[in-house]
A and B are shown apart, each in its own frame.
Chain A
Amino acid sequence: MNPKTNDEKRKAGADTIQRLMAFAALVILFIGFSLASPFFFTLSNIIGILVSTAVNGLLAIGVTFIIISGGIDLSVGTVMTLSAVMSAVVVSNMGLPNILGVLAAVLTGTFAGVLNGLMVAKLKLPPFIATLGMLNVARGLSLVITDLSPIYFPLEVGWNRIAMGSVIGSIIPGFDIPNGVLILFGSALLAGLILSKTVIGRYAFAIGSNEEAARLSGLNILKWKTIIYGTGGFFIGIAGVVIAARLNSAQPALGLGYELDAIAAAVIGGVSLSGGEGTMLGTIIGAFIISTLTNGLRILSVPQEWQIVVTGLIIILAVYLDTVRKRARTS
């Protein structure tokens, strides 16, 4: 006996408002920090924000596929590290060309994703547990492979230019936007298309919205979950390439805690943790909100430990607003 037909438009409108809300929050942060500090709204600082978003943004893209399909991936941070390690092994230790290093990283990420998908869909493990296991496996493997110490890329191979060079700067002098930012935006565009225009994305929404209904509609859940987790893993592999390029090395101890920032970015951007809802644009905005906040607070000389507290509060606020919105729609 719920009210049905008359306020449908209002409800549909609420969905758009949430998306606009994240964007509005980003704009407000920008205006606020610009007023508070003359050092915030400068080209170099904005490029700094863009660069610092790249890694978390890519991880958030990967995890978005998985959360939309009703799962979760806690292993994105350490799988990223393992991907970075694999590229360093291929390029530094084996002396193979950079392109094979990139391939090694992307394959590692995709493979870990596929394994996660199989654990969830075939062995029916809860995603939380399966990917928690993968988190430790990947972390341990990185340490084993590197024998606990970082692998550096020889400067002459130019690995760091993958993310830190600037193709745009070489075409338009003075406009030195690093490649890492291009990789982020390119990946976001590709991921957005996969999510909204291909069968993979469509089925991620369907499975996340109602897995049993999707199964009874004839979808092969095992196959599609594996593909969805694998797709997420592909972008985690790219994140591995970018972080290895930024540091010009593979740091095996890195990666723990990155998964939480990635999940936070997705959630702030409107991806529902219960699955079936979300957009890539939202996720990217979410990632930018986190890095803008960190950057702005640092410029205002807020101590780092307080920056962490503020980020935590923002996550709580974002999820609270999400639940308020859901309640408004269902009452």
Chain B
Amino acid sequence: MNDTLVQMEGIDKRFPGVQALKDCHFNLRPGEVHALVGENGAGKSTLMKILAGIYPVDRGTITFKGNQVTIPNPNAAQMMGISMVHQELNLMSHLTAAQNIFIGREPQNWFLLDENTQNRNSKELFDLMNLKVNPSMKVGDMTVAKQQMVEIAKALSFNADVLIFDEPSGALTDVETTELFRIIRQLKDKGTGIIYITHRMEELKEISDRVTVLRDGLYVDTVNTKETNIDQIIQMMVGRVIYESSPEVPEDRSEEVILEVKNLSRGNELKNVSFHLKKGEILGFAGLVGAGRTETARAIFGADPIDSGEIIIKGKPIHMRRPSDAVSNDVAYLSEDRKRYGLCLSLEVKTNIALPIFQHLSNALGWVNDKRVDDISKNLVEKLTIRTPSIEQKTKYLSGGNQQKVVVSKWLAKDADILIFDEPTRGIDVGAKQEIYTLLNELTAQGKSIIMISSELPEILRMSHRIIVMCEGRITGVLDHSEATQEKIMTFATMRNGGNQDQNNPAQRGHV
């Protein structure tokens, strides 16, 4: 009993209409990293939210440091020494890092807030994590990765014995994840128990000591990471065999250039970005967060203005003033943030699918031909095997993978030729990821051309015909898939102030 920090036994949790957890077990030792994996909806977050006092438990017992406890609310959990870093960032963007960390327990001088002490204490936390973060900087001005670090600092500030990470690496690039792992190892050495929820299989080997697998709210097994291989874990998760690692790059592609971008520039974000996309090709865009990949995509799509540069589609220069210009030239952009930029969540599947084409499906009076809307959306729902009770279902009730497929359907309905996918598999579970990959390959086989931005190197290497690497707003490397390796990509991705795009801009090469 001594070497068990947390013991959860026979945990049941029911939400209206669904049994989220049934008879689940979990135990955590001090100084271990215990990974919790499972497909979306398996119950990982629910189990941890019970431990963190966010949900009350229906049945079962929780033992913490040998004593049976009830955890009525998050505050009680934090006081006991259990802190959770959430998947979605819970920060107030108008407040500073320090203000966010000490929210609700601000140091005070009489009745005045003591910002100095607060900043000093935050600085100490950041130093402990070996991070350079200015405590008095507004969180809204920080990168997502830095914001994540502020969340972690906040969790640490409670002197937690148990630290729960809910998919912390979702928003981080590989380099930033490495940094996170360094912090985790540091905490582990001090005897903190770490629970780590993740979708990224390759991270398990790197960071975890043990892995617990959940499936459909049920406990499957707990294994020692060293004695298990990844395919076994995936098999436990999905209950069927999936081969994660086979590369699938079809070789048949034409040499026809469908999109050409010349010297795209905007302020500090884009510097002379030039590249071309061939018909039927998947062009991977790799780089760290903030390298300018999303900015490039949004500029091509007309979502953000550019200072200078040329966009040539099928040989014709196009002036992109707004997204509707791009759409009418058969360019589609699928944002990484589906909920914010891709879907009208309160509207039905069919309305979302037909959104770009309602004008084509209506007569001169604006009367919409609902029969055709239904036909088109039914057809696509079937073709892409979108799991929804009907096309009338509101998209907010669909799972992440199926929501992504609705966004793809929208652009298939529009018959777009150039599809820009920004992190197409973010937040999607292993099984659905596989379906998205198959879909991308089918699209290129039909002659569609794809730009795929991804922060997951295995995904980039597996899917792309060619890979463009960006760093700090410029293209630092172009690799054919036959020569590409993780190491080469990372070299280009960290090539600050250099790269092959600077030849015509000597000022930025640094003088000799």
Contact = CB atoms under 8 A, between A and B. Distances in A.
Contact of B327 (A5, A10, A205, A218): A218
15 contacts: A1-B44, A1-B45, A5-B18, A7-B16, A7-B18, A10-B16, A12-B393, A197-B367, A202-B358, A209-B347, A213-B342, A215-B323, A217-B356, A219-B324, A331-B15
Contact of B341 (A2, A6, A216): A216
Interface of A: 1-12, 194, 197-200, 202-203, 205-206, 209-210, 212-220, 276-277, 331
Contacts of B347: 205-206, 209, 276
A14 B143 CA distance: 39
Nearest to B361: A199
A210 B301 CA distance: 18
Given A197-B368, A218-B327, A4 B41 contact: yes
A214 B344 contact: yes
B322 interface: yes
B132 to A, nearest CB: 33
Contacts of A217: 323, 327, 355-356, 410
Interface string B24-52: 00000000000000001111111000000
Which of B15, B18, B333, B344 has its CB near the most chain A CB atoms (within 10 A)?
A: B344
A4 B45 CA distance: 14
A1 B410 CA distance: 25
A210 B345 contact: yes
Contacts of B42: 1
Contacts of B340: 210, 212-213
B18 A4 contact: yes
Nearest to B397: A8
B345 A3 contact: no
Contact of B335 (A6, A198, A216): A216
B369 to A, nearest CB: 10
B351 A1 contact: no
A1 B197 CA distance: 12
Contacts of A216: 301, 303, 323, 333, 335, 341-342
Which of A4, A6, A216, A219 has its CB near the most chain B CB atoms (within 10 A)?
A: A216
A277 B351 contact: no
A199 B358 contact: yes
Contacts of A7: 15-18
Contact of B46 (A1, A9, A12, A213): A1
Contact of B366 (A3, A11, A199, A331): A199
The 3 closest A-B pairs by CB, nearest first: A7-B17, A218-B327, A3-B18
B287 to A, nearest CB: 22
A238 B326 CA distance: 39
B394 interface: yes
Contacts of B235: none
B397 A198 contact: no
Contacts of B358: 199, 202-203
A214 B345 CA distance: 11
Contact of A205 (B44, B343, B344): B344
B370 interface: yes
Which of B333, B341, B358, B389 has its CB near the most chain A CB atoms (within 10 A)?
A: B358
A209 B344 contact: yes
A18 to B, nearest CB: 13
Interface in B388-438: 389, 392-394, 397-399, 410, 414
Interface residues of B, number: 51
Contacts of B343: 210, 213
A214 B46 contact: no
B328 A218 contact: yes
Contacts of B43: 1
A98 to B, nearest CB: 27
Contact of B351 (A6, A205, A219): A205
A315 to B, nearest CB: 22
Interface string B338-375: 00111111110001000110110010011110100000
A4 B16 contact: no
B346 A277 contact: yes
A206 B345 CA distance: 9
A61 B358 CA distance: 23
A214 B410 CA distance: 11
B484 interface: no
B95 interface: no
A219 B358 CA distance: 10
Given A1-B43, A220-B324, A198 B17 contact: no
A198 B394 CA distance: 19
A241 B324 CA distance: 38
B241 to A, nearest CB: 24
A80 to B, nearest CB: 25
Given A8-B389, A197-B370, A209-B347, A1 B341 contact: no
B20 interface: yes
B430 to A, nearest CB: 16
Contacts of B333: 216
A214 B354 CA distance: 11
Contacts of B15: 2-3, 7, 331
A199 B414 CA distance: 16
Nearest to B416: A218
A1 B24 CA distance: 15
Nearest to A218: B327
A198 B20 contact: no
A198 B365 contact: yes
B46 to A, nearest CB: 5
Contacts of A220: 322, 324
Contacts of A9: 389
A304 B340 CA distance: 47
A11 B397 CA distance: 9
Interface in B311-344: 322-324, 326-328, 333, 335, 340-344
A256 to B, nearest CB: 33
A276 B396 CA distance: 13
A277 B324 CA distance: 25
A140 B399 CA distance: 53
A280 to B, nearest CB: 16
Contacts of B341: 212-213, 216
B362 A198 contact: yes
Nearest to B21: A1
Contact of A202 (B335, B345, B368): B368
A210 B344 contact: yes
A218 B323 contact: yes
B198 to A, nearest CB: 14
Contacts of B40: 1
B223 to A, nearest CB: 22
Given A198-B368, A277-B346, 8 more contacts: A5-B18, A7-B16, A12-B392, A12-B393, A197-B368, A206-B351, A209-B345, A210-B343
Contacts of A5: 18, 387, 389
A1 B343 CA distance: 19
B17 A10 contact: yes
B101 to A, nearest CB: 26
Contacts of B335: 216
B17 A6 contact: yes
Interface in B85-127: none
A217 to B, nearest CB: 4
Contacts of A199: 358-359, 362, 366, 368
A6 B389 CA distance: 10
B16 A331 contact: yes
